[in-house]
Amino acid sequence: MNPNQICSVDFFEAVSPLSRPIADATHEISEIKFVVTRVETRRGVVGDAYLLAFHYSPEAIAGALRDVRDLAMGFDVSDTGAFLAAFEREAEYFGHAGIHRWAQGSINIAMWDAWARTLEQPVWRLFGVCHQRVPLYGSGGWLSYSIEELLDEVRGYVKRGFSAVKIKVGSPEVEQDIERLRKVREAVGPRVRIMMDANQGCSLAQALELSRRAAEIGIHWFEEPIHHQDFDGYQTLRRSSAISLAMGEREFDLVPLRELCARNAIDLWQPDILRLGSVEAWRASAALAAAHHVPVLPHYYKEYDVPLLMTVPNAYGSESFDWVDPIITNPIRMKDGYAYPNEGPGWGFRFKDEHLKEIASR
C-alpha cells in the first residue's frame, strides 16, 4: 500500500481575530474568514491549504470542496499534475472557471505541502531558487476607513519597515480619492511608494482622470482600474497614463494575460493562486509574463506567494495583510521591507487548531 496516498481530507473554517467590516469600491465585506483544507497521507503526513472566503457563498464553497475531496482520495501527494488532469475532466461539464478552480487549488496546494513535508524540504527549494528575499508592501486603505484610520494604517506600515503601501480608490468622486492620496503622501513622506487599487470600480473616463491627477502625487501603480475583461480599455489607459497598470487577481486562466500582453496593456501581473487553481498554473502564468518582460506581483496569499516568488526570475514583490498571521504558526518574516520564506518543510506554517471549526462532511 502506497504510504503517500491521501487517506483523508477535512475542511475547516477560521475567522481572523482582526475581522471587522470593510469596503472597497465594489464590495462590502462583513467578515474576514478563511476555509482551510487538510489532507493526510497513509504515512501520517499532513498538508494544509487555505482560501480567503470572506462571507461569500459558504454553502457553494463547502459543496465544491466536498466534491473535490471525493476525487482526491487515493492520489499520491506527489501526483499533483495527475490530480489536476483528473479534476479538469470531472469539472468540465459545469465549467472550469469559478468555484471549481478554488476547490481544485485548495487540494493542490495542500498536496504540495504534504509532499514537501514528506521530503522534509520547503516547497520553494523544490523548484530552484532565483532570489533570497522579495519586496513586501503593506495593503489596505479601505474606502470605509475614516481619514484618521487610513493614516494610522499607513503610518503603522512605515513604522514596521514597509517601504510601499497600497490604498483603495474608486470613490464616487475623483476628488475624494485625490484627497486621500495626498494625505497619505503627506503622512508617509516622499520615499515610500504608494499604490492605488480601484477593484474595477472606475469607468475608463474616471480611470484616465484619476491616473492623470495621481501621477502628480507620485503614485507608483494603479491596480484594477476598470473591468478586468476590458482589454481594449486597459490598452487605452496604458497608452495615456504615466502610472503603471497592474491586474490579474480575478483571472481563472491565462487567457487575459495573453490578451493584455498582445495589446501591450499591462505592466504588472497579479496572479491569485487559488483562482488559478494550482501551484503549476501560478508558475505557468509567471513564465508567460516573463516571456513578455512583465514582472509578477501576486494577489493576497503571501504565505504561498513569497516562497513561489523565490523561484521565478521576474518576481516584483508580494502583498501583505496581517489577517491570517495571528492564527498560524510561523508567519512570513519581514525585515526592512523584504519578506523571507519559512525554512521549515512544506509551506512552513500550520493553522493553530484552536482557531479551526470543522465544516460538516455532508
Is 348 inside any structural domain? no
- Residues 327, 190, single domain; the answer is yes
Instruction: Determine the average pLDDT of the residues in 316-338.
Output: 95
The domain that holds 68 is classified in CATH as 3.30.390.10
Radius of gyration, CA atoms only, the chain: 20
Is 349 contained in some domain? no
**Mean pLDDT (the chain, rounded):** 95
Rounded to whole angstroms, the Cα distance separating 207 from 200 reads: 10
175 and 286 belong to one structural domain: yes
- Determine the average pLDDT of the residues in 92-119: 95
User: What CATH number has the domain bearing residue 175?
Assistant: 3.20.20.120
Question: Cell digits for 196?
Answer: 492605488
pLDDT digits (tens, 9 = 90+) for 278-310: 999 999 999 999 999 999 999 999 999 999 999
Q: Is 145 within the bounds of a domain? A: yes
Asked if residue 28 and residue 56 are part of one domain, the reply reads yes
Position 251 in a domain: yes
Q: pLDDT class for 23, splitting at 50, 70, 90?
A: confident
The 3-state secondary structure of the chain reads CCCCEEEEEEEEEEECCCCCCEECCCCEECCCEEEEEEEEECCCCEEEEEEECCCCCHHHHHHHHHHHHHHHCCCECCCHHHHHHHHHHHHCCCCCCCHHHHHHHHHHHHHHHHHHHHHCCEHHHHCCCCCCCEEEEEECCCCCCCHHHHHHHHHHHHHCCCCEEEEECCCCCHHHHHHHHHHHHHHHCCCCEEEEECCCCCCHHHHHHHHHHHHCCCEEEEECCCCCCCHHHHHHHHHHCCCEEEECCCCCCCHHHHHHHHCCCCCEECCCHHHHCCHHHHHHHHHHHHHCCCCECCCCCHHHHHHHHCCCCCECCEEECCCCHHHECCCCEEECCEEECCCCCECCCCECHHHCEECCCC
The reply to whether 101 and 217 lie within a common domain is no
Choose among 219, 257, 256: nearest CA to 241.
Answer: 219
pLDDT in tens, 37-93: 999 999 999 999 999 999 999 899 999 999 999 999 999 999 999 999 999 999 888
pLDDT digits (tens, 9 = 90+) for 167-209: 999 999 999 999 999 999 999 999 999 999 999 999 999 999 9
pLDDT band for 35, please (50, 70, 90 cuts).
very high
Confidence of residue 156 (pLDDT cuts 50, 70, 90): very high
345 domain residue, yes or no: no
* Domains of the chain: total: 2
pTM of the predicted model as reported, rounded to 2 decimal places: 0.96
Q: Is residue 144 part of a domain?
A: yes
Q: Are residues 160 and 245 in the same domain?
A: yes
Residues 251 and 279 in one domain: yes
Q: Domain check: are 223 and 334 in the same one? A: yes
Position 96 confidence tier, pLDDT thresholds 50, 70, 90 = confident
Shared domain check, 234 and 133: yes
Whether the per-residue pLDDT at 362 is higher than 70: the answer is no
Q: Is residue 318 part of a domain?
A: yes
Residue 204: C-alpha distances to residues 88, 139, 177, 251, 287 (Å) = 35, 24, 16, 20, 29
> Where in the sequence is the domain holding 325, given as residue range(s)?
125-340
Q: How does pLDDT run across 206-262, given as a tens digit for each residue? A: 999 999 999 999 999 999 999 999 999 999 999 998 899 999 999 999 999 999 999
The reply to whether 101 falls in a domain is yes
Whether residue 98 is found in the same domain as residue 147: no
63: burial class by Cβ within 10 Å (0-12, 13-18, 19+)? Answer: middle
Q: Are residues 98 and 167 in the same domain?
A: no
Domain shared by 130 and 208, yes or no: yes
- Are both 165 and 258 inside the same structural domain? yes
pLDDT one-digit tens code per residue, 338-361: 999 999 999 999 999 999 999 976
